[in-house]
A and B are shown apart, each in its own frame.
Chain A
Amino acid sequence: GAVVSQHPSWVICKSGTSVKIECRSLDFQATTMFWYRQFPKQSLMLMATSNEGSKATYEQGVEKDKFLINHASLTLSTLTVTSAHPEDSSFYICSAPRWVTDTQYFGPGTRLTVL
């Protein structure tokens, strides 16, 4: 089946620093990728839709200047958390849809802890 990878799987950083998370589709091209955030015992919350070759679309309440998204190729999207604060600590998950089958393939997630 389709595989999506994420890197790193976990990261600990100091408050005020920036962290980049990569999401790759390994065996298919993804013109669209989604970025989610999940707090403990909560559902997946869509943050933004990443579109290859164009600007990302952000959900209401998500600061686009804080969560920078770049979708430079058909297999790679990156999420950069800028000037991270402890409240940004969460589980970040990306996904890539296969529209033909109306399914999404999720990455394994990145656990971000901001000290």
Chain B
Amino acid sequence: SQKIEQNSEALNIQEGKTATLTCNYTNYSPAYLQWYRQDPGRGPVFLLLIRENEKEKRKERLKVTFDTTLKQSLFHITASQPADSATYLCALDGDDKIIFGKGTRLHILP
């Protein structure tokens, strides 16, 4: 069956460290992967998109990798700050629509 999984429901990281979130998928062949941030009671906000022919993408303190062999994307936040605490969603294009993972709730501890 087709699945998109974010392996941690919640993750606690000490301030200043790098937070790494994982997104794995099964039985999809996405042309791209997206990462979103969602704060409680708010709609998701687009952060980064990485295409299948790109290995890595960066935006300020954010870095995303995409390994089509492992069927995995990693999302890194370097020098993490308490303000980075939120739920992070990965999404991919599958079956003519965007499919979302359940998200990882990230807590940056001061």
Q: Which residues of A contact B (CB under 8 A)?
A: 4, 6, 34, 41-44, 46, 49, 91, 93, 95, 101-109, 111
Chain A CB within 8 A of B86 CB? no
- Chain A residues contacting B101 (CB-CB under 8 Å) are 43
- Chain B residues contacting A4 (CB-CB under 8 Å) are 43
Minimum CB distance partner of A109 in chain B: B43
User: Which of B44-52, B53-61, B77-85 lines the interface with chain A?
Assistant: B44-52
- Chain B residues contacting A105 (CB-CB under 8 Å) are 46
Q: Which B70-93 residues have a C-beta within 8 angstroms of A?
A: 89, 93
Best-buried of A44, A91, A108, A111 by chain B (most CB within 10 Å): A44
Q: How far is the CA of A93 from the CA of B44 in the complex (A)?
A: 9
Minimum CB distance partner of B31 in chain A: A102
- Chain A residues contacting B32 (CB-CB under 8 Å) are 102
> When A43-B103, A44-B100 are in contact, do A103 and B49 touch as well, CB less than 8 Å?
yes
- Chain A residues contacting B44 (CB-CB under 8 Å) are 44, 93, 106
Q: How far is the CA of A43 from the CA of B100 in the complex (A)?
A: 7
The contact of A111 among B34, B41, B49, B98, by CB within 8 Å, is B41
**Min CB–CB distance B11 → chain A (angstroms):** 15
Q: Which residues of B contact A (CB under 8 A)?
A: 32, 34, 36, 41-46, 49, 89, 93, 97-98, 100-103
- Chain B residues contacting A43 (CB-CB under 8 Å) are 89, 100-103
- Chain A residues contacting B93 (CB-CB under 8 Å) are 102
Residue pair B89, A91 in contact (C-beta under 8 Å)? no
Residue pair B42, A109 in contact (C-beta under 8 Å)? yes
- Chain B residues contacting A34 (CB-CB under 8 Å) are 97-98
Q: How far is the CA of A46 from the CA of B96 in the complex (A)?
A: 12
Residue pair A42, B102 in contact (C-beta under 8 Å)? yes
> When A93-B43, A109-B42, A109-B43 are in contact, do A102 and B102 touch as well, CB less than 8 Å?
no
**Min CB–CB distance B59 → chain A (angstroms):** 13
In order of increasing CB-CB distance, the 9 nearest A-B pairs are A106-B43, A43-B102, A44-B100, A109-B43, A43-B100, A93-B43, A106-B44, A103-B46, A108-B43
Q: How far is the CA of A101 from the CA of B103 in the complex (A)?
A: 23
